[in-house]
A and B are shown apart, each in its own frame.
Chain A
Amino acid sequence: QLQLQESGSGLVKPSQTLSLTCAVSGGSISSGGYSWSWIRQPPGKGLEWIGYMYHRGITYYNPSLKSRVTISVDRSKNHFSLNLSSVTAADTAVYYCARGVVVAAADIYHYFYMDVWGKGTTVTVSS
């Protein structure tokens, strides 16, 4: 059974870079038909999708964060990562990684919903 586990810096200073990794176990990150996303949830608030990557190297970032976000993959370690630069207190949140089931595709657009989620990791931005 596929499992995802987030890890990384729990406390980040303002203006620095937040770095998280999502380890994938029980399956290969290179499997076709799946996408890999990051989602966050500020304390007491709703869910915000950060972006995703597809196994062929396709990435898409939420325009609200695009200038600060990088999602990358290390296939040898079967994990993918999130870097978010120039953080502020507004980036304080629980960060989740999730697998997406691609149910259809059109050109480079993938229709997917998230079927497996990590447990989440809390990141606090504070000096």
Chain B
Amino acid sequence: DIQMTQSPSTLSASVGDRVTITCRASQSISSWLAWYQQKPGKAPKVLIYKASSLESGVPSRFSGSGSGTEFTLTISSLQPDDFATYYCQQYNSYPITFGPGTKVDIK
């Protein structure tokens, strides 16, 4: 299985901050990476697919980059609606695996 790690596990930030979350894969996954946002009691919502492609309807303040084993999710200016947990997910090989999550909370 491909192991996914994320850092940090928790991030405290203020509205308007630029936020960056890192995701690393235990082996190369090319660009087969997605990012999801999950709020308490809700299903995950896809933000980014193929490492850097913005899902339709997702605000442009979200962006993704990277390839191979290292990836980042950036929120250019944190908004109140963005406080949530973020997961990366690889789909380069089965089983599909998720990172452990990064919780973004209010500073």
Which A residues have a C-beta under 8 Å from some C-beta of B? 37, 46-49, 51, 60, 62-64, 96, 98, 101, 103, 109, 111-115, 117-120
Contacts and interface: CB of A to CB of B under 8 A. Distances in A.
Given A47-B44, A62-B95, A113-B91, 19 more contacts: A37-B96, A46-B98, A46-B101, A47-B89, A48-B98, A49-B97, A62-B94, A96-B44, A98-B43, A103-B50, A109-B93, A111-B91, A112-B91, A114-B36, A114-B44, A114-B46, A117-B43, A117-B44, A119-B42
Given A103-B49, A103-B50, A119-B43, A111 B98 contact: no
Contacts of B95: 49, 51, 60, 62-64
Interface of B: 1, 32, 34, 36, 42-46, 49-50, 55, 87, 89, 91-101
Contacts of A118: 43
Contacts of B89: 47, 113-114
Contacts of B87: 46-47
Contacts of A37: 96
A47 B46 contact: no
Main secondary structure of the interface of B (DSSP, over half): loop
24 contacts: A37-B96, A46-B98, A46-B100, A47-B44, A47-B89, A47-B98, A49-B96, A49-B98, A63-B1, A96-B44, A103-B49, A111-B32, A113-B34, A113-B49, A113-B50, A114-B46, A114-B89, A115-B46, A115-B49, A115-B55, A117-B44, A117-B45, A119-B42, A120-B43
Contacts of B91: 111-113
Contacts of A49: 95-98
A64 B1 CA distance: 10
Contacts of A115: 46, 49, 55
Contacts of B42: 119
A27 to B, nearest CB: 16
A117 B38 CA distance: 11
A115 B32 CA distance: 14
